[in-house]
Structure formats: structure tokens, C-alpha cells
Amino acid sequence: MEIFLKFLLVSLANFLVVSSQVVKNCKSGNIRYNCEECGMIRKKTARIIGGKQAFDSEWPSIAYVTLRYNFDLEINGQKNLFLYNRTCAATLINKRTLITGASCYEKQITFTYNSQVYTVNVKPNNYHPTIESIFNVYLGVTNIGSIRNGKKNAGLGVKVNIEKFIMHPDYSEENRLNDIAILRLKSNVEYSNRIQPACLPNSQIKNYPTKTNIPVWAGGWGVINSRGTYPDTLYVVQMSLLPSARCSLVLPSMLKNWNTQICAGVMAGGKDTCKGDNGAPLFIKDKINNVEKYVFVGITSYGESCAKKNRPGIYTKVSSFLNWINENSAFVNDNQSTVKTTKQPAIISSTFSSTTSSFLKNMCFDGFDDGFCDECGKTFKQPNVKIVGGIQAVPNSWPSMVFIKVFTVFNTQFYCGATLINRDTLLTAAHCLPKYGSFLPTVKAYLGYNDVSYVLKGFGTAEGIEVNSQSVKIHPEYDEDTFVNDIAIIKLAKQVQFNEKIQPACLPSSRTYPDKINLPVYAVGWGTTDPNVSKNIAILRNVKLTLYGKESCRTYTDFNIDIQICAGELAGGKDTCQGDSGGPLFFKDNYNNEEKNVLLGITSYGQGCALKNTPGVYTRVGNYLTWIRQNI
């Protein structure tokens, strides 16, 4: 299910480029490199074959993992000390959480010594008080030669300690199903040009990625040739995401579940992951806020041989485990030393190449734990709302409609809608005003407009007036993950004069207003009219929709009829979409025997645009009348 907010990111500005990585703002408000941008670029067996060496810091979310297990074994009455070594890879998703394969940790090891086969359970002992003490994790490394040579430092990277190893409870060692685990760190890592989190898939898109036969990238330090050579430098290989049927011949005796696994490789052979790459990430390229990023879609699990013709590899599908990841990942707060777990959606959705119009929500459990997400986070969410199936509005027929341009602390610009309710107050959606740490965005409001083409081109005003914001106030209980309480107030720097183009909207008379359903309602906005095109239109449009009850929005697990409204057309073809976020949902009613437009809802989010049986979700303005009055 694709959940789209309804604002549109239109441009990026003032960003740093460090080692080919787009980097954004930090909690302090200073622009430097240790901040919150995800997805930066800079198998029984699994390795990188047919790939090439990565540039230094090119893949800052990939971690090198070693397992060193010392144990005593009595043989012929004599105690012998053994050392078991294993290497894996993992992926950083926030300052305190990495994702790897459950197969990286083996509960039992079998080996031959003096022609005798022995099996040992891997568990805490005199050398290792916990399972976690077996792991050694290195972040920010590309060349691991010094680590392999026994040096204690990680060169230009850092070695981090593991607080908790969490294996998926349904992991099947026999079939490698649910081959995923979490490595929770003891303390936060500092982001740098060498260390950055990966973007997770959008939690609302089922079976992400939704297409096959697209390029994917795998990276690791596993075997790179038939001679079994392990490289000192990270290797990366480009392959293809393949239909599941292409993996039907890969170890056919092993059960497979294509709801939780991905098939990737090259059917002609020659390119693959291999031994030593277990737990390594599989990425696809996608766009987040019009910036191309690598999205973490798979975890290297197993394969049959390496780089063999007609034998692709099997990878764990990350999108199938987002709820489990959210529930078990560390919630990061730089002001606290304790680690909490919190349920927050991962990541990240956006326009998938040229497929669906979806928003890549950067990973943040806090994926961008400083309180901002990045789009893989918390930062830039691209909701999906536009006027689809509507018509151009008659000029000045919606005089309370306001076009707003939102500027984040990075000077990133978003376009949203808003509604004038008095001479200096606008209502909009909270998700239109992304907050980064303690920094709130600023707003330019354009009132009295029907055609915003001059504004979109950056030429300033033409037919209406432009007013700066004095302050913005987001509802204190707004939830960035579920979009509950998705409402905000913008106070203008000056009062506006009412005229035929500029008039305030009427507010509802009660919390439950209106008390009936199946009524006609009207949505207004400058959002895109094509779900596959993330671009605002210049001429205001309006669409007539139907007000539904909660049953029509049952596909949204967090929908709450007491504070939200369900509206659209069950037959499809009419809806709001990208760029309409924050705009109004009106209901025509009689006030003092005169028909008026009553502000019933605020455009919040939806699944796709104008799809059959998928109405949109709007914030119920009547529920917030007391809060509005207290803050205007």
C-alpha cells in the first residue's frame, strides 16, 4: 500500500557535496557533514564476483562485520583452545542500528580436527560473556586490510560495540527464510562523509520494489574470484532484479517465499555475491525529493555456487520486515543515554524511477535520529495528493485558498496549499512544515491567486499578494509516522485586506461536523493531475468528491474517524494528489440562509491518486477548534 502525503518538493538548494554525497543540515543548524541524509552515494554462499573496487567512502552505510569466537574443547583428555572466524556485512539505518542477515550468526559450527568431525554450540563462555561480544563491527571503512592484519584500529573508520543482537524469531536456518537480524549499538555513531544511514523502502508500498528487470547494486568484502580470494577493498557489483521464477532452479530443495525474498543476479553468470558477503545490502536507485538515492531493498542470504549461469542469488526482502525493524530498532535521542524502542515507519517512499508516484520517506526510527528524518528521512516526506479528475476553478471562486512556498533550514522548497481563516492566520497540514531539530521552516504565502505560474517560475507576484510568515505552529501531538493530528497554523507577518479575491473560510460549528456521510465535498489545489509526474500545475483546480464513513478508509490502519475524514470516489478517477497537501476540503452549507464554503478538512495523505476503492484522508478541522482558537 502506497501512502502519500500531499506536498511537493520542488527544488533543493544550499547542500554540501562531500565525496559525491548530498549532505544536509545538522541539529546545531550548521551545515556540515555529520547530519541527516539517508541513501548517500559517495545463499549458503555469498561474495562479490564480477564487480569492481568501490571508491573510498562511496558506500557510507555499509559496515564490515567479523565474528571471532574462542572456545575450549576437550580432546583425548586435553583442553584445546580454538578460534572460529567469520566475516559478514551489515547496513547502517540510523545512529544506533544496523541490519544484517540472521545467517551471519551460526548457532552451531562444525569443523574437522585431526580427521575427527566436531560440532560446537556458539554460546556465551569464559571468553565471551554475551553473544554480542563475539561481534566486531567497523563503520566508515572501505579498505579493511589493517583489520584483517590484526590491527586494533579501523584506520579511517571506527569500531563500534554491540549492545544487542536480535535475530528474527522466525528465522529458518534450514531454508534461510526470514534471514534478517538487527545489530543494536551501545552508543550513537557520529555521521560523517564516511558514515551515513541507508534509506529504507517506503513502509506503505507493498512488495517494494514494485518492478523487476531493473538494475540493483550489491556491496561487500566477500570472495571475488574462483580462487577464493578475499579483497581488502570493498567491492560493488551491478546486477538485475529478476522475476522470482528465475530463481526457481536455485537449490530447489530449499523452501522459498517470494513475499519475503528477492531474486537478483545476472542470468548469463559472471556477476554475483559470494562467500563472506552474508548480510550485505542490495540497493536500487530511486528518487527522494528529486534527488537520486540508493534504497536498501535486500539482504544477501544465499545462492548456489557463485556467479553461475542461470543461478541468481536469493536476498531477504527488506520491505517485508519494516514493522519488525521498527519495533526492534533503537530510538535515538542525542540527549539521552538510554535506548528505547519505538514503532515508527521506515522509510522511505518516493517516485520509483518512472513507475508509481510515491514518496520515499527517509529512514528514521529516528532514521535520522537527531529528530529529523530523512527521507531514509524523517525530513522530506512527499505525500501523494493532487486534483485528479477535477476541472480548472473559476477565478476567485475559492477566495480563502492560499498557495504556500515552504523553506526549510536547508532552503529546500516545498509547495503546499493552505486556507485563510482570518486576516493573518492560515491552516495547513503539519507535514507541510518539516521540523529539523528545533528549527521550524519559514513560509511565503500567496493569496488571491488562481494562476501561480509566475510563482512557480520564481518571478514573484502577478495577480495576488505575497506575505511572509511571522511564525508557524505545529500541533503538539502530530505524529510524523501516522499523520495523526496533521494540522498546523501559520501566522502571517501582516494582516491582509479582504476583497473579492481574498476572503476567510468558515470554520465548522462542532467537533463532529457534519454529522452525516455520503455528502458532496470539494477539494481545491494546484497539485499534479498526473500521478506519475511530480510537478505542480499553474491553474487552480477543484474536484467534487464524496464524504464517506470509516469503512471506506479501512485500508489505512491508523485511520481515526474522530479526528480524520475519509473522502474521494470509490469508483476512482477523482482525488487529490501530489502538491495538494495542506489544501482545503470544503462542504457547502447554509450560514444565516446564505450558502457558504465550510472548511471541513485539510488534505493529508492517501494511497496513490484516484485509485478505485481508495479514498483520501483529510484532517478533521472540527476536532481542533479549541486548539485553533487558543493559537490564533
Point out the residues that are catalytic: 431, 486, 581
204 and 180 Cβ atoms separated by less than 8 Å? no
Q: Where are the alpha helices (DSSP H) in 26-96?
A: none
Distance of CA 264 to the CA centre of its chain: 22
**Separation CA 254–CA 256 (nearest Å):** 6
DSSP calls for 103-158: GGS-SEEEEEETTEEEEEE----SS-SSSGGGEEEEES-SB-HHHHTT-SS-TTSE
Burial code (b: 16+ CB inside 10 Å, e: under 16) for 527-556 equals: bbbebeebbbbeebbbbebbbbeeebbeeb
**Which residues face 296 on adjacent strands?**
283
SS (H, E, C) 371-428: CCEECCCECCCCCCCCCECCEECCCCCCCCEEEEEEECCCCCEEEEEEEEEECCEEEE
348 and 375 Cβ atoms separated by less than 8 Å? yes
Residue 347 has φ and ψ, to the nearest 5°, of 15, -115
262 and 297 Cβ atoms separated by less than 8 Å? yes
Distance of CA 386 to the CA centre of its chain: 21
**Separation CA 629–CA 626 (nearest Å):** 5
For residue 465, how many other CB atoms are within 10 A of its CB? 16
**Separation CA 504–CA 490 (nearest Å):** 14
The 8-class DSSP code of residue 625 comes to H
DSSP calls for 493-548: SSPPPP-SS--PPBPPSSTT-S--SS-EEEEEE---SSTT-----SB-EEEEEEEE
**Separation CA 51–CA 291 (nearest Å):** 25
Which residues lie below 8 Å from residue 263, measured CB to CB, with a gap of 6+? 241, 242, 243, 244, 246, 247, 250, 312, 313, 314, 315
Q: Where are the alpha helices (DSSP H) in 153-226?
A: none
For residue 169, how many other CB atoms are within 10 A of its CB? 8
Q: Nearest 5 degrees, angle CA 526-CA 532-CA 538?
A: 20
69 and 407 Cβ atoms separated by less than 8 Å? no
Shortest CA distance to 180 belongs to which of 39, 366, 318?
A: 318
